[in-house]
Amino acid sequence: MYKIQNFVFPSIGIVSPEEMYFRGDNKKAYASLNKKSIEFIEYGIATFDTFFNSLSVKPWKTNCQIDDLGLALAGQGKVRIRLGLYALDNQHRWLYEKDLELSAKPYEIDLPFWKNLHEGMLYLEVRALSKAEITSGFFYTREKPKNNVKLGIVITHFNRKHYVLPAIRRISEELLNDSYYKKHIKLIIVDNSQNISDAEKGKSTLISSKNLGGSGGFTRGLLHLKDNDFTHCLFMDDDASCEIESICRTLHILEYGKVDKLAVAGSMLREVEPFRLHEKGARIEGTGVINLKHGLDMRNVHDLLVAETDESVTYGGWWHFAFRIKDVEHFSFPFFVRGDDMLFGLINSFKIMTLNGVGGWADDFGVKESTINRYLSLRAHLMCLILGTDTSKWKMLRTTLGCVITANMSYNYSGAQAFIESVRDVLKGPDFWEDNVDMAAVRKHLSCIAPGEKCEPVQIPAGAEVGPGLQESKKRRFFRILTLNGFLLPTFLIKNKTVIENKSFHAVFRRIFRYKRVIYITPEKLGYTAEYNKKKFFKNLCDFGQVSFNFYRNFNKLKSDYKNSLNHLTSENFWRKIFFSNKN
């Protein structure tokens, strides 16, 4: 008997609602957080048609070789179990029912109907026929794993010990203490800040490394795995929290994978709304990135079914991305951070799958937005379009103009300058990337030319206003657009007032229209003040015009040079020379 999917019960410290684990009558079926179990009084009912505990038929059958399936439950008390199936555009149906007397030893039930299922969401319902408790459960197969997997988890860290040390402890205690998983999984921490001690590393392998960002850190970890005979790699962020079961399921998918070049992309959910899906894989479409299944509610059965519908996945974020090491044709491009996961997916021919219950939570990207992040994001996005798509130079310039305009109209002039600077650096060609792998000179330059947008504790001044609502008249909207959100108006028409905005990628323009100042504020009440400034606004537009002309004139040669250098800049030899020609 081999587990493929463990049940996950709510526990102390969880950020997500219980409806993502089970649904129960809280008077008769409820979670015990300390014991990580589900308790019942007589006639209590709990259902597991949820993000973490349902089993998605099609992703498992399409990508993995599992011809038989069983269910095991442990606990105490007499219960009646049913297995049901939800499917889009089909009526719900029951597939199985049985009365059980639970004990500490898991009760095993083979499920013969599995061979006739092709899609939908299989789930368990438990009805207590007496006082009862479920302490554990899992779906299993009697087939041996198809693939021998030695999986290395690579986490890159830089000065964020408050994130990474709890992750090390959880993985060490909950995963690497398990007799099965510790044979197949190892944890590798690439410490770019070189400040994690041996006493803090838990059961991980600690690699002190020069700070070459996420691109360098993940690549350093990948090289370690390759040199130590690992078969598979799982990249994970130090700030993305997940249920340990996400890692277990990733291992089992890889063990039973039947698809050539199979990779697993974990979902990202929002920490501020832990049930809300931000992305379940992504793809490039035109000049933009489509966050697949964005906005779905993972408490809702219909949305869970929609989340498992097929879509083409171009890449998976490195908060949770697993792949077979021998399938890597290109290592990371030396981006430092941002864009490395996107281009890695574009230039390697992985067959990427996603699965409900595999993924984690992270902060919204809009809250993290800063001058340096604007520079890094656009620079990486342009490189991905140049190297991974056939996007025209006109569409790239239009995208860049949109970035500059939205930053400018948000009064984030340093951010607009950073966008322009990113195009200037792309224009420098392949040598720029090889000469600036550590980004030290670039970061120093940006700190001089583009200060601003640094979030600090902020006090809201008396008289500050919350801008008008999202509704506005057609006349006002026409006038606002005609005047570039007020930047073509005479200064005396700008109100000497302050408006408060939630920090994101840019302002809601209708709210800040004609205000002199904007205070951008995060959920943690950190923020900064931005001011209306015509001179900076139009200077940035002039600078953009100049850099756009150079981009247009040099684009064909630039793209050819980058295409010719891709194999070198993403080669194993390139990275080995960087890491090992001069020892740290």
Number of alpha carbons in the 13 Å side-chain half-sphere of residue 539: 9
CATH architecture of 2-141: Sandwich (2.60)
DSSP 582: S
| pLDDT tens per residue, range 109-134 | 999 999 999 999 999 999 999 999 99
Q: What is the pTM of this model?
A: 0.93
Count of CB atoms within 10 A of residue 479's CB?
14
Beta-ladder partners of 163: none
Contact 357/508 with Cβ under 8 angstroms? no
pLDDT of residue 504: 87
C-alpha dihedral sign at 358, 323, 152, 342: negative
Report the DSSP pairing between strands 45-47 and 23-24: antiparallel
Euclidean distance between CA atoms 262 and 201, whole angstroms:
31
3-state SS assignment for residue 188? strand
Structure tokens at 110: 């083979």
Contact 566/347 with Cβ under 8 angstroms? yes
pLDDT of residue 449: 74
Count of CB atoms within 10 A of residue 440's CB?
11
Name the amino acid, one letter, at 100: L
pLDDT of residue 367: 67
DSSP 175: I
Name the amino acid, one letter, at 117: L
3-state SS assignment for residue 288? strand
Euclidean distance between CA atoms 371 and 413, whole angstroms:
9
Nearest alpha-carbon partner for 222 in 212, 213, 211, 234: 234
Collect the ranges in the chain with pLDDT lower than 50.
583-584
Contact 175/184 with Cβ under 8 angstroms? no
Phi, psi of 174, rounded to the nearest 5 degrees: -90, -25
Euclidean distance between CA atoms 560 and 87, whole angstroms:
48
Domain residue ranges of the chain, discontinuous segments joined by +:
2-141, 151-363, 368-536
Phi, psi of 262, rounded to the nearest 5 degrees: -65, 135
Number of alpha carbons in the 13 Å side-chain half-sphere of residue 423: 26
User: Alpha helix (H) ranges present in 195-339?
Assistant: 213-227, 244-256, 301-307
Looking up tokens 């998605």 gives 56
CATH topology of domain 151-363: Spore Coat Polysaccharide Biosynthesis Protein SpsA; Chain A (3.90.550)
Q: Residues in the chain, how many?
A: 584
3-state SS assignment for residue 575? helix
* Cα–chain center distance at 371: 21
Distance between terminal CA atoms of the chain? 46
pLDDT of residue 241: 80
pLDDT of residue 505: 84
CA dist 275 → 59, 360, 382 (Å): 21, 11, 32
